[in-house]
Amino acid sequence: MGGIDRRRFLKRAGIAGALGGAAAVPMAGELVLAQGHKHKEAVREHGRHLAQSVTRGDHGHGMMGTVGRVDHDSNGFHPLEILTDFDGGRTSRDSSGRTVREYEFVAINKEIEVAPGIFFPAWTYNGRVPGPTIRATEGDRIRIHFTNTTDHRHTIHFHGIHPAGMDGVPGQGEVGSGETFVYDFIAEPFGTHLYHCHSMPLVQHIHRGLYGAFIVDPKKGRPPANEMVIVMNGFDTNFDGENEVYAANTIAFGYLNDPIVIERDELQRMHVINVTEFDPINSIHLHANFFNLYRTGTSLQPDEFTDVISMAQAERHMIEFTYRHEGRFMFHAHQTEFNDLGWMSLFEVVA
Partner 1 sequence: MSAQAAARPARGVFVRVGVALLLIVAAAGAFKLFDEFVSLRAVPPVEELAIERVELDPDRVAMTIRNDGPDPVRVAQVLINDAYWNFEIGDPELGRLESTSITSDYPWEEGLPLGIVIVTSTGVTIEHEIAAATDTPDLGGSTFVTYALLGIYIGVIPVALGLFAFPFLQRMSRRWLGFFLALTVGLLAFLLVDTLGEGLELAGETATALDGLGLFAIGALLAIAILTTLEGRLAQGSSSTDRSEVKGLALAYLIATGIGLHNFGEGLAVGAALAVGEVALGTFLVIGFALHNTTEGLAIVAPLGRDGKRPPLVQFALLGVVAGVPTIFGAWLGGFAFAPAWATLAFGAAAGAIAQVIWTVVRSMKGDAAITRSLPATGFAVGLLVMYATGLLIA
Is 349 within 8 Å of 322 (Cβ atoms)? no
Q: Does 351 participate in binding partner 1 (rule CB under 8 A)?
A: no
The C-alpha atoms of residue 168 and residue 174 are separated, in whole angstroms, by 6
DSSP class of residue 281 equals -
Residues paired with residue 137 on neighbouring β-strands, in sequence order: 217
Q: Binding of partner 1 at residue 2 (CB under 8 A)?
A: yes
The verdict on 119 binding partner 1 (CB under 8 A) reads yes
- Work out whether 6 is an interface residue with partner 1 (CB under 8 A): yes
The site string for partner 1 over 161-180 (x = CB under 8 A, - otherwise) reads --------------------
For position 265 contacting partner 1 by CB under 8 A, the verdict is no
What is the Cβ-side half-sphere exposure of residue 92, based on CA atoms within 13 angstroms?
6
> Which residues on adjacent β-strands are paired with residue 86?
133
Question: Is residue 118 a contact residue for partner 1 (CB under 8 A)?
Answer: yes
Examine residue 224 and say whether the peptide bond preceding it is cis (omega within 30 degrees of 0). no
Q: Does 56 bind partner 1 (CB under 8 A)?
A: yes
50 binds partner 1 (CB under 8 A): yes
Q: Is 57 in the site for partner 1 (CB under 8 A)?
A: yes
Q: Taking contact as CB under 8 A, which single stretch among the options 10-18, 268-276, 285-293, 296-304 is the one that binds partner 1?
A: 10-18
**Rounded Cα gap, residues 204 and 209, in angstroms:** 9
Measured between its terminal Cα atoms, the distance across the chain in Å is 106
Q: Is position 235 an interface residue for partner 1 (rule: CB under 8 A)?
A: yes
Cβ-based neighbour number of residue 74 at 10 Å: 10
The reply to whether 203 sits near partner 1 by the rule CB under 8 A is: no
Q: Which is nearer to partner 1, 42 or 350 (CB)?
A: 42
> According to the binding rule CB under 8 A, does residue 54 interact with partner 1?
yes
Q: Which of 324, 342, 325, 321 is nearest to 333 (CA)?
A: 342
Q: Which C-beta is closer to partner 1: that of 47 or that of 280?
A: 47
- Could you tell me if 74 and 113 are in contact, meaning their C-beta atoms sit under 8 angstroms apart? yes
Q: Which residues contact 303 (CB under 8 A, 6 or more apart)?
A: 293, 294, 295
Separation between Cα atoms, residue 194 and residue 123, nearest integer Å? 17
Check binding of 117 to partner 1 (CB under 8 A): yes
Distance of alpha carbon 178 from its chain centroid, rounded? 28
Q: Which stretch binds partner 1 (CB under 8 A): 113-121, 134-142, 192-200, 306-314?
A: 113-121
Q: Using the rule CB under 8 A, is 25 a contact of partner 1? A: yes
Q: Which is nearer to partner 1, 210 or 341 (CB)?
A: 341
Amino acid at 161: I
- Please identify, using beta-carbon distances, which residue of 33 and 312 lies nearer to partner 1: 33
Q: Which stretch binds partner 1 (CB under 8 A): 85-93, 236-244, 288-296, 314-322?
A: 236-244
Which is it for strands 118-125 and 157-158: parallel, antiparallel or unpaired? Answer: unpaired
Q: Does 51 bind partner 1 (CB under 8 A)?
A: yes
Count the neighbouring beta carbons within 10 Å of the beta carbon of residue 39.
10
Residues that bind partner 1 (CB under 8 A): 2-3, 5-7, 9-11, 13-15, 17-22, 25-26, 28-29, 32-33, 35-37, 39-40, 42-43, 46-47, 49-51, 53-54, 56-58, 63-67, 115-120, 235, 237-238, 240, 244, 252-253, 337, 340-342
